[in-house]
Amino acid sequence: MRVNANSRTCAVSSLCVYRAPSVFSQDEDGHVVVLDHSPGEDVQDEVRRAARGCPTRSIEVVESDATGS
């Protein structure tokens, strides 16, 4: 799994940070920052929920079977 986020469209809702604090954080303006672009399996479900729940669709999740991650 690869995770990216678009801080320009982020609405500073903090939802993703609550869902997966090891993967998402916020900069000084509150915009999303990705801490871990290749999160482990233990948090991948939460990352998918965060992406689905983002009100501005600012989180991109690319599933990758090739790497197994």
Cβ-Cβ contacts under 8 Å for 13 (sequence gap 6 or more): 54, 55, 56
Residue 11 makes CB contacts below 8 A (sequence gap 6+) with: 55, 56, 58
Among 2, 13, 33, 44, binds ligand SF4 (CB under 6 A): 13
Among residues 4, 11, 60, 69, which is the contact residue for ligand SF4, using CB under 6 A? 11
Q: Is 20 in the site for ligand SF4 (CB under 6 A)?
A: no
> At closest approach, how far in Å is the CB of 40 from ligand SF4?
20
Minimum distance from residue 60 beta carbon to ligand SF4 (Å): 10
CA separation for the pair 5, 51 (Å, rounded): 9
